[in-house]
Amino acid sequence: MWAFIHKLGSPKWFYGISAKLQPWFWAAAALLLITGSLWGLAFAPADYQQGNSFRIIYVHVPAAFLAQSIFISMAVSGLVFMVWKIKVADMAAAVMAPLGAAMTFVALFSGAVWGVPTWGTWWMWDARLTSMLILLFLYLGVIALRGAFTSRDSASRAASVLAMVGVINIPIIKYSVDWWYTLHQPASFTLTSRPTMPTEMWLPLVIMVLGFYSFFIALTLMRTRSEILRREASKRWVQELVNGQMMKVPAEETR
């Protein structure tokens, strides 16, 4: 167990294994996203109430899911980094944060755009949108805190603690925002909650969600590899790797 954890923690080992895993996730992401998009945009039936604007659900919901999942993965990585001092976990957490913020932005933007045909306004203090907005601020806080330290070791620890504090608070925030919303807007109609969704509507949604997750994993692997190279540039194995590559034709680094 211990040996495994520490092996997992070795940047060199991670660099090797991620190279093997990465293509599969990119392929899965491309396949799922293309299938899901075609299906959701062209083949899924229009909603009887919202018409074709309903198709925004296929980007809004996956982005919202992913935004929350990334924050949780960031906190878990932070915990792993703090408890076992596994640096790769912190590198992954560092590269996840901007993608998470981007996903939160996508969820917010698509929600706002969706609001125009549905509510007739760009912004409604809808429970989901409000929670997303708060999540965006949490992301910005983590990114800003990491950037504010001059010592990278301290930055990593501080960002880890903040991510963990944030993740404990997310359910509390979500619950209180939901509660606040129902208190102020009783019986109003939310974007995505509907009693029954026919299979040909939710199946593409599932495919899109899976596609977004694959994309997230693939991108995180790729950027973590870059981050490993950046932080371990002075380590022997990186220099050997670079030297080995220069011997060959200046072939491009595989992704």
Partner 1 sequence: MQETGLQETGSHSSSHSSSSSSLYGADATADVLPVPLLEHKGGLMIAVKATLVRDLTLLLRRRGEVLNPLVFFALVITLFPIAISPDPELLATIAPGLLWVAALLAALLSLDSLFRSDYDDGSLEQLLLAPQPLAALSVAKVAVHWLLTGLPLALMAPLLGIMLALPVGSYAVLALSLALGTASLSLIGAIGAALTVGLARGGVLLSLLVLPLYIPVLIFGAGAVQAAILGDGVSAHLAILGALLAASLMSAPWAIAASLRISING
Partner 2 sequence: MSLCLQARKLSCERDDRSLFKGLDLDIRSGEIVRIEGPNGSGKTSLLKILSGQLSDYEGELFWNGAAMKSVREHFLANLLYLGHAPGIKSGLSPLENLAWYQALSGESSEGKGGEEQRLEALEQVGLAGFEDIPAGQLSAGQQRRVALARLTLTPRALWVLDEPFTAIDRHGVAALERQLIEHAQAGGCVLVTTHHELAASTPIRRIALG
Partner 3 sequence: MAFASFSEFLAMGGHAPYVWSAWGVTALLLVATVWHARVEQRQLIKGLKRRARRANSLKGNTP
Per CB under 8 A, contacts with partner 3 among 32-61 are 33, 37, 41-46, 51-53, 55-56, 59-60
CB 69 within 8 A of CB 213: yes
Instruction: Give me the count of residues in the chain.
Output: 255
25 vs 71 by CB, closer to partner 1:
71
Helix axes 87-119, 199-231, angle to 10 degrees: 140
Residue 255 interacts with which of partner 3, partner 2, partner 1, none, CB < 5 to 8 Å by class: partner 3
Residue 203 beta carbon to partner 3: minimum distance, rounded to whole angstroms = 14
CB 146 within 8 A of CB 97: yes
Residue 240 beta carbon to partner 2: minimum distance, rounded to whole angstroms = 18
34 vs 144 by CB, closer to partner 3:
34
SS3 content of the chain, % helix, strand, coil (to 5): 80, 0, 20
Per-position b or e across 26-55, b if 16+ CB within 10 A of its CB = bebbeebbeebbebbeeebeeeeebeebbb
Residue 84 beta carbon to partner 3: minimum distance, rounded to whole angstroms = 26
65 vs 149 by CB, closer to partner 1:
149
Question: Contacting partner 3 (CB under 8 A), which of 105, 119, 149, 202?
Answer: 105
Question: Kind and range of the H or E element at 224?
Answer: helix 199-231
99 is a contact residue toward partner 3 (CB under 8 A): yes
Taking CB under 8 A as the rule, which mask of x and - marks residues 233-252 in contact with partner 3?
x----xx--xx-xxx--x-x
